[in-house]
Amino acid sequence: MKFRLVVLLALFSLLYSCNPLSSIRVETIKPAKIEFPGNFNKAVFINLATDLNKDQEIDTLLYRMITEEMSLGFMDATKFSAGIDTSAFFYLKGFPLKEKLYNSDTISWTYLENISDHNNADIFIVLDTLKLSMDSGQSVNYYTAPEEYYVFRELAINAYWSVFDLYTKKRLDKYHYGDTLLWDAFGYFKTEIENKMPSVEQSIREASYFSALDYANRIFPVWQIETRYFYHLGNDDFKQAGQFVRNYEWEKAIKTWEKYIDHIDKEIASRACFNLAFANEILGKLDLAIAWAKQSKAIKNKARTRNYISLLQSRKKELKELKTQVN
């Protein structure tokens, strides 16, 4: 699986400096931390946390607000995920009951099948339980002139998630997510700091949104931007090869570096092999990239090269996992 090159102004920020290394930004796919299937039809979000106050009543307005924000968090996450279309994700409306999915210690797959009959869903992201706790306060610093006011709000969120695969009848994940968000403001007038602070509703919306967004990054394979380095200094040919990289002329760059893999100057030879590892990684040839990196290390045992070998080996493992997650 090849990289997607990201065109950024900083692509060659080090190209003409004294640093022998230049950088390039690439997009890689980070596999999901669960066995997320790449051949699913649709994914549905079900919020079972209908009674936040534990008073045996459905908290209608709060439930809808949290559900909508979490759904938006998942939707935004799919835009940055690999192999997941936003049209393949939706949330279950209404007020689903937890006892319909969980019967004692067993899972009612029939309940999920009934939902699937109406929308062809086979992946179910379930919020089992949600706990919110809020703390707030204010203080006045009388030692300043004029007096300085301070106000804060702290919102702790604990979400208990599950992911079910209807096709295999498996629970793919069971995860506790916890986070605490803080908002605060300073000012010389009470009205000033009140205007700076979000409302309680806005705070709950923000906490709900990011809890879903963060969890989506755990269960979906996502694109991430990383930095790779190569040697653009060594001699005139290395400088020319750097220009080839800038123009995405990888074959020309490779042919240039191959001329120096057995050079009498071990530093030049080591750099050439390192660059060949870099180029082959970009072209998606990880086994060849690892081989060239190991040859570079055999010539000159550098910490950067050892770290790069570890990175390449990790990427190889990730790509193996991605084969089942991305179609």
149-184 in b/e form (b: 16+ CB < 10 A) is: bebebebebebbbbbbbbeeeeebbeeebeeebebe
Confidence of residue 323 (pLDDT cuts 50, 70, 90): confident
pTM: 0.82
User: Three-class SS of residue 76?
Assistant: helix
Note the pLDDT tens digit of each residue in 116-149.
Answer: 998 899 999 999 999 999 999 988 887 877 888 8
Q: How many CB atoms lie within 10 A of CB 91?
A: 18
**Cβ-contact 14, 216 below 8 angstroms:** no
For CA atoms 280, 286, 288, 289, the dihedral sign is: positive
**What is the strand order of the sheet 43-47 is part of?**
89-91, 43-47, 123-141, 148-165, 170-187
Helix 250-258 / helix 266-282 crossing angle, nearest 10 deg: 150
18 against 6, higher pLDDT: 18
* pLDDT score at 15: 42
φ, ψ (nearest 5 deg) of residue 252: -65, -40
Position 16 pLDDT exceeds 90? no
The percent of residues above 70 in pLDDT, for the chain, comes to 94
Greatest mean pLDDT range, 14-18, 83-87, 259-263: 259-263
* pLDDT score at 108: 94
Helical ranges in 120-235 per DSSP H: 190-196, 200-219
CA angle 98–99–102, rounded 5-degree value = 90
- Residue range 63-74: mean pLDDT, rounded: 95
- Residue range 48-64: mean pLDDT, rounded: 83
Query: What is the DSSP annotation of 78-110?
Result: HHTBSS--GGGEEE--S---HHHHEETTEE-HH
Q: Write down the residue that tokens 């908290």 correspond to.
A: 59
Q: Which of 256, 78, 38 is nearest to 167 (CA)?
A: 38
Q: How many CB atoms lie within 10 A of CB 220?
A: 25
Q: Please give the Cα distance from 219 to 225 (Å, whole number).
A: 18
Confidence of residue 299 (pLDDT cuts 50, 70, 90): very high
Helical ranges in the chain per DSSP H: 60-79, 98-101, 109-119, 190-196, 200-219, 236-246, 250-258, 266-282, 286-299, 303-322
Note the pLDDT tens digit of each residue in 300-313.
Answer: 999 999 999 999 99
For CA atoms 142, 144, 149, 150, the dihedral sign is: negative
Q: Which residues share a beta bridge with 171?
A: 164
At a CB cut-off of 8 Å and minimum separation 6, what does 248 contact?
5
- Tell me if the bond preceding 146 is cis, omega within 30° of 0: yes
Position 58 pLDDT exceeds 70? yes
Note the pLDDT tens digit of each residue in 178-210.
Answer: 999 999 988 888 788 888 899 999 999 999 999
